[in-house]
Amino acid sequence: MASSTSFFRRNRRRIAPWLFLAPGITMFLLYVIYPVFQSINISFYEWDGLGPKTWVGLQNYADLFDDPSFYTSLKNNLIWLVLYLLAIPAGLAVALFLNQTVPGIRLYKSLFFFPFVISQVVVGLIFSWFYAPGFGLLPKIIKVLTGSEIAVLADERYATLAVIAAGLWPQTAYCMILYLTGLNNINPEQVEAARMDNAKGWSMLWHIILPQLRPATFIALIVTVIGALRSFDLISIMTVGGPYGSTRVLSYFMYEQALSEYGTAMGYGAAIAVVLLAIMLVFITLFIVRMLSQERNG
């Protein structure tokens, strides 16, 4: 006992960090890191979730690349990704609009941020109501403009776009708050100096302000891309993947195959998840590389 105590005392600073880490790292390895590799493993099997697993090698992936639903999902993921990026300039625009010091502006900022605080389930319900044929506000507006109503969520041409529009609402609010914080920290001397040199409007924004907002833009980019690829709630609430599976994305497709009431294709679902992870890894790596260079520099 005495010797073990003194061993601990001598090596206290080497052991202590691992003791502090133990609970967090155990939970994280068990519930996050290890499952990633388990899923990769499952993707090589055929498995209904209960019975024995059968090794099928790359068959799930081969099936996936022959599945039209996979390409629909992939295409929709791409549309989500591209259109979701609109939240960044939109958020910047709202932030520039609100970056003033008039009475009550704080309350305005909070209220503009509101959509982000509400759950996506509620956002989805709100927009379903907004789009509802027969009485929704949007079909009414479309009718005034074109003379005929469109049920956007039931129309394969518009359904994905309509769901993305609902997602852009909270995401723009998120980007806005990032930019408001960024604008708050801009070096006022540089701005004044540029004003002396007659810079204003767009050229001021482009040459002086945006470079200083780069950290905010980077975070906005990462959270928006991850948000776009994680999209699930809105689709589940607003369209359930339909009409005819046309609003599926990989995350929802995976859910249908492996997790929903009728989904028993674990191996196939895992393969879809692995593809989604591979896409996300591009952006995760980007983020880590940048953080790493920050660590090195300071």
Partner 1 sequence: MFPRPIAQRSRPVQIAYQAILPVALIIWLLPLIGIAVTSIRPASDLASGNYFGIPSSFAGVENYTAVFRNSNIGYYILNSFRVTIPTVIGAVALSCLSGYALAIYRFKGNLIVFFMFVAGNFVPFQILAIPVRDLTLKLGLYNSMTGLILFHVAFQTGFCTLFMRNFMKALPFSLVEAARVEGIGEWRIFWYIILPLVRPAMAALSVLIFTFIWNDYFWATVMAQSADVRPITAGMNELKGQWKVAWELIAAASIIAAMPPVAMFFLMQKHFIAGLTLGATKG
Cβ-proximal residues to 280 (8 Å cutoff; 6+ apart), any chain: 226, 229
- Minimum Å distance from CB 196 to partner 1? 13
Judged by CB under 8 A, the residue of 110, 141, 143, 203 near partner 1 is: 110
Tokens 């005929």 appear where? 148
Nearer to partner 1, 85 or 271 (CB): 271
Does position 51 interact with partner 1 (CB under 8 A)? The reply is: no
Residue 77 CA, chain-centre distance (Å), reads: 11
- Minimum Å distance from CB 270 to partner 1? 6
- Tell me whether residue 279 is exposed, middle or buried, using C-beta atoms within 10 angstroms of its C-beta: 0 to 12, 13 to 18, 19 or more: middle
Judged by CB under 8 A, the residue of 209, 224, 247, 248 near partner 1 is: 209
Does position 125 interact with partner 1 (CB under 8 A)? The reply is: yes
Query: CA–CA separation, 35 vs 39, rounded Å?
Result: 6
Give the interface segment with partner 1, choosing from 67-75, 78-86, 149-157, 250-258 (CB under 8 A). Answer: 250-258
Binding to partner 1 in span 155-194, by CB under 8 A: 169, 174, 177-179, 181-186, 188, 191
Of 249, 248, 269, residue with least CA distance to 258: 269
Question: Nearest 5°: phi and psi at 240?
Answer: 50, 35
Of 160, 279, 164, residue with least CA distance to 226: 279
Judged by CB under 8 A, the residue of 5, 13, 51, 68 near partner 1 is: 13
Nearer to partner 1, 2 or 282 (CB): 282
Judged by CB under 8 A, the residue of 2, 17, 147, 157 near partner 1 is: 17
Nearer to partner 1, 81 or 237 (CB): 237
- Minimum Å distance from CB 189 to partner 1? 11
- Minimum Å distance from CB 162 to partner 1? 12
Judged by CB under 8 A, the residue of 7, 119, 143, 161 near partner 1 is: 119
Query: CA–CA separation, 95 vs 181, rounded Å?
Result: 9
| Interface mask toward partner 1 for 126-155; x: CB under 8 A | xx-xx-x--x-x--x---------------
Contact of 196 with 250, CB cutoff 8 Å:
no
Judged by CB under 8 A, the residue of 215, 221, 243, 264 near partner 1 is: 215
Binding to partner 1 in span 57-86, by CB under 8 A: none
Tokens 């996300």 appear where? 280
Contact of 116 with 110, CB cutoff 8 Å:
no
Query: CA–CA separation, 119 vs 233, rounded Å?
Result: 9
- Residue 284 tokens read as 């995760």
Nearer to partner 1, 159 or 175 (CB): 175
Of 129, 82, 84, 107, residue with least CA distance to 237: 129
Give the interface segment with partner 1, choosing from 33-41, 53-61, 64-72, 141-149 (CB under 8 A). Answer: 33-41
